[in-house]
Amino acid sequence: MLRLGIMGDGPAAAMLARAAQTLAMDVVFFAPGAAAADAALAAGWQDEAQLREFAGRCDVVTLAAEQVPLAALQVIESAGTPVYPAVNTLAQIQDKVRQFRTMQAAGLEVPRFRPVQTATDVMAAIEEYGFPLLLKARHFSRGGAGNVTLRRSAEVADALEKLRGYDLLAQEYVSFVRELVVIVVRGREGALQFYPVLETEQEQGACQTVRCPAGIEESTAYQAVELAKRAVEAIAGVGVFAVELFELENGTLRYNEISPCPHDAAHVTLEATITSHLHNQIRVVAGLVPGDVDQIAPAAALLYLNPDRPSRLSLDTLRDAIAVGGTHFHLYGPRQVRPGDRPGHVTVLGYTTDGAEKVALLALSRLHW
């Protein structure tokens, strides 16, 4: 029986584990500070002894969180346990400056950017790119905490204070008509599969709505898949990747970023496609043939749950919402939720994305927070 290691915690780790268990795999978690069954706990990602113990309990390791430090993964690989995506792949992603440069070298058009650290650096970026200007942490951070949008020079000092301790990147703001996501499956030998191109909407820096497929021309979808293919091949990725793109007013596409682990938008595949992105990540890292990525129904929509006041998530919360026909609810665990939390999502299949989205909105209107 294959022993799968999952690095990271939270809903993504739990969903990956459930996918692995359908294939009779043993699952071992590495989630520092998290109390989970079968987890090899550690004081932190720097605990080399615990990392080596974890590596010894696994045949292969994958990620549930993109913030896992490279140094921790290097310990796993040095212990002889393969990690997918590999350290070399993640090294080209986790630093966004290096990520943009890698994609530029692969021929993708990216937003204009420059490394910055001081107020003088930021002012130079403002002079070149104008407002609004995105000030970002160069390395991954949880919940969008490492991003600030600047709209006037007077905001620079406060933004730098908020982002104190981060290595920073200044990036031009891209005016777009829609955001697209291409979920790419790439096997150990380089074989590729592509899910239907998704359209997403964000709220406060987090994915809120997903439409499958995106409402775009076939030629645009083809272009999106081609760009996603080049992005994943540029980093020699093995696993499942989400390539985020901007569709511009002139119909062209521009690269935004790539995610090397379960992506918020990709959760629509749990119901919308024959094989979910989670099952395909498990298959690929285990060296198995990926599953079919074709869409089951003509259309699907996913909406995230967002409470407007503090509440405890329970079955009573769902009682009326789940009665709406055609809904598929996923709750991430009974806990106290605060405004802005996303404690779950709902997916609806239909004949059109508009129709599916209306049903999902109706269901969400019947939640009892």
In a domain, 106, yes or no: no
pLDDT, position 36 = 47
Name every residue whose Cβ is closer than 8 Å to that of residue 68 and which is 6 or more positions away in sequence.
Answer: 7, 8, 45, 90
pTM of the prediction?
Answer: 0.94
The arithmetic mean of pLDDT across residues 69-93, rounded, is 96
Higher pLDDT, 141 or 267: 267
Residue 143 confidence (pLDDT):
46
- The mean predicted confidence, pLDDT, of the chain is 93
Average pLDDT over residues 230-244: 98
pLDDT band at residue 66 under the 50/70/90 scheme: confident
Whether 216 and 332 share a structural domain: yes
Confidence (pLDDT) at 183: 98
User: What dihedral angle (degrees, nearest 10) is formed by the CA atoms of 237, 238, 239, 240?
Assistant: 30
The number of domains in the chain is 3
Confidence of residue 40 (pLDDT cuts 50, 70, 90): low
* Least confident among 62-66, 114-118, 195-199, 221-225: 62-66
Mean pLDDT of 246-268: 95
* 196/70 same-domain check: no
**Residue 105 domain-assigned (yes or no):** no
Q: What is the pLDDT of residues 43-63, one digit of tens each?
A: 688 899 999 999 999 999 999
**Residue scoring higher pLDDT (335 or 305):** 305
Residue 303 inside a domain? The answer is yes
Averaged pLDDT for residues 317-329: 95
pLDDT of amino acid 310: 80
Higher pLDDT, 11 or 159: 159
CATH number of domain containing 49: 3.40.50.20
Last residue of a domain, one of 172, 189, 211: 172
CATH label of the domain that carries residue 130: 3.30.1490.20
Closest CA to 267 of 324, 183, 336, 204: 183
Judged against a pLDDT cut of 80, whether residue 38 lies above it is answered with no
Let me know: does 10 contact 341? Beta carbons within 8 Å. Answer: no
pLDDT of residue 141: 54
> Taking residues 259-284, what's their average pLDDT?
96
Residues 254 and 140 occupy one common structural domain: no
Indicate whether 94 pLDDT > 50: yes
* 216 in the same domain as 265: yes
Contact by Cβ (8 Å): 332, 343: yes
- What integer pLDDT is reported at residue 10 of this predicted model? 84
**Which residue range(s) make up the domain with 71?**
3-84
Choose the weakest-confidence range: 39-53, 58-72, 279-293: 39-53
Q: Are residues 225 and 324 in the same domain?
A: yes
Distance of CA 46 to the CA centre of its chain: 24
Distance CA 90, CA 73 (A): 9
State the pLDDT at residue 145. 61
pLDDT at 37 over 50: no
